[in-house]
Amino acid sequence: MGLTIAQKIIKNHLVCGEMKTGNEIGLKIDQTLTQDATGTMAYLQFEAMGIERVKTELSVAYIDHNTLQAGFENADDHRYIQTVTKKHGIRFSRPGNGICHQVHLERFAVPGKTLIGSDSHTPTAGGIGMLAMGAGGLDVAVAMGGGTYYITMPRMIKINLKGRLSAYVGAKDVILEVLRMLSVKGGVGAIVEYGGDGVKTLSVPQRATITNMGAELGATTSIFPADETTKEFLIAQGRGEAFTPLCSDEDAVYDEEYTVNLSALKPLAACPHSPDNVKPVSELAGKKINQVCIGSCTNSSMLDMLTVAAMLKGKTVHPDVSLSISPGSKQVYTMLARCGALADLIAAGARILECACGPCIGMGFSPNSAGVSLRTFNRNFLARSGTADAQVYLVSPETAAASAIAGVFTDPTGLGEGVCVEMPAKFEVDDNLIELPASVEEAAGVTVERGPNIKPIPVGKAPDEDLRSTFILKVGDDITTDHIMPAGTKVLPYRSNVPKLSEFCFTVCDPTFPQHAKAAGGGVILGGANYGQGSSREHAALVPLYLGIKAVVAKSFARIHVANLINFGIVPLTLANPDDYEKFSQGDEIEVIGFKEAVKNKDEAMVVCKATGARAKVRLNFSARQREILLAGGTLNYTKQNG
- pLDDT per position as a tens digit, 444-466: 999 999 999 999 889 899 999 99
- As a whole number of angstroms, the distance between CA 542 and CA 5 comes to 35
Indicate whether 68 pLDDT > 90.
no
Amino acid of residue 306: L
Q: Is the C-alpha dihedral spanning 562, 566, 570, 572 positive or negative?
A: positive
User: What pLDDT sits at residue 490?
Assistant: 86
Mean pLDDT score, 210-234: 98
440-445, long-range: CB < 8 A, 24+ apart: 440/53, 440/89, 443/52, 443/53, 443/86, 443/87, 443/88, 443/89
Residue 95: which pLDDT band, with cuts at 50, 70 and 90? very high
What pLDDT is recorded for position 550?
A: 97
- Mean pLDDT, to the nearest integer, of 173-191? 97
Whether 255 and 21 have beta carbons less than 8 Å apart is answered as: yes
pLDDT per position as a tens digit, 395-412? 999 999 999 999 999 999
SS3 195: strand
d(CA 297, CA 269): 18
Q: 362 falls in which pLDDT band (50, 70, 90)?
A: confident
Compute the mean pLDDT over every residue in the chain, rounded to the nearest whole number: 96
Cis amide bond preceding 121, omega within 30: no
Candidates 230, 190, 240, 416; CA nearest to 311 is: 416
**What does the pLDDT read at residue 55?**
97
**Order of strands across the sheet that contains 58-62:** 131-134, 114-117, 31-35, 58-62, 91-93, 434-435
Please, which residues have CB within 8 angstroms of residue 405's CB and are 6 or more apart in sequence?
Answer: 311, 312, 315, 316, 317, 318, 348
Tell me if 467 sits within 8 A of 592, measured CB to CB: yes
Residue 629 to residue 572: CA distance in whole angstroms: 13
Residue 418 near residue 167 (C-beta atoms within 8 A): yes
For CA atoms 504, 509, 510, 516, the dihedral sign is negative
What is the pLDDT confidence band of residue 70, given thresholds at 50, 70 and 90?
confident
- Contact status, residue 75 vs residue 302, Cβ threshold 8 Å: no
Domains and CATH numbers, the chain: 5-264 (3.30.499.10), 268-412 (3.30.499.10), 467-641 (3.20.19.10)
What pLDDT band is residue 602 in, cutting at 50, 70 and 90? very high
Least confident of 233-242, 377-386, 610-619: 377-386
pLDDT at 553: 98
Residue 162, strand partner residues: 261
Given a contact cutoff of 8 angstroms between Cβ atoms, the answer to whether 214 and 223 are in contact is no
Q: What is the mean pLDDT of residues 137-164?
A: 97
Residue 643 pLDDT grade (very low, low, confident, very high; cuts 50, 70, 90): low
Q: Which pLDDT score, from 0 to 100, does residue 422 have? A: 85
* Edge-to-edge strands, sheet with 149-152: 14-16, 24-27, 149-152
| Span 277-287, average pLDDT | 98
Single out the residue of 239, 143, 260 nearest to residue 195, CA to CA.
260
Confidence of residue 492 (pLDDT cuts 50, 70, 90): confident
Task: Give the Cα separation of 626 and 332 in Å (integer).
Answer: 43
**Secondary structure, 3-state, 69-118:** CCCHHHHHHHHHHHHHHHHHCCEEECCCCECHHHHHHHHCCCCCCEEEEC
Could you tell me which residues come within 8 angstroms of residue 511 by beta carbon, excluding any fewer than 6 positions away? none
User: What percentage of residues in the chain have a pLDDT greater than 70?
Assistant: 100
Give residue-wise pLDDT tens across range 604-636: 999 999 999 999 999 999 999 999 999 999 998
What's the start-to-end Cα distance of the chain, in Å? 40
Query: Residue 641: its pLDDT value, please?
Result: 83
Task: Report the pLDDT averaged over residues 415-429.
Answer: 90
Selected residue with higher pLDDT from 535 and 518: 518
pLDDT of residue 639: 85
- Alpha helix segments (H runs only) across 454-588: 481-484, 498-501, 513-520, 539-546, 559-567
Averaged pLDDT for residues 157-175: 98
State yes or no: pLDDT of 488 exceeds 70.
yes
What is the C-alpha to C-alpha distance for residues 248 and 7, in angstroms, rounded to an integer? 9
Give the residue-averaged pLDDT of 502-529.
96
| Residues with catalytic roles | 64-65, 119, 379, 535, 537
- Which pLDDT does position 1 carry in this prediction? 83
Q: Averaged over 77-97, what is the pLDDT?
A: 97
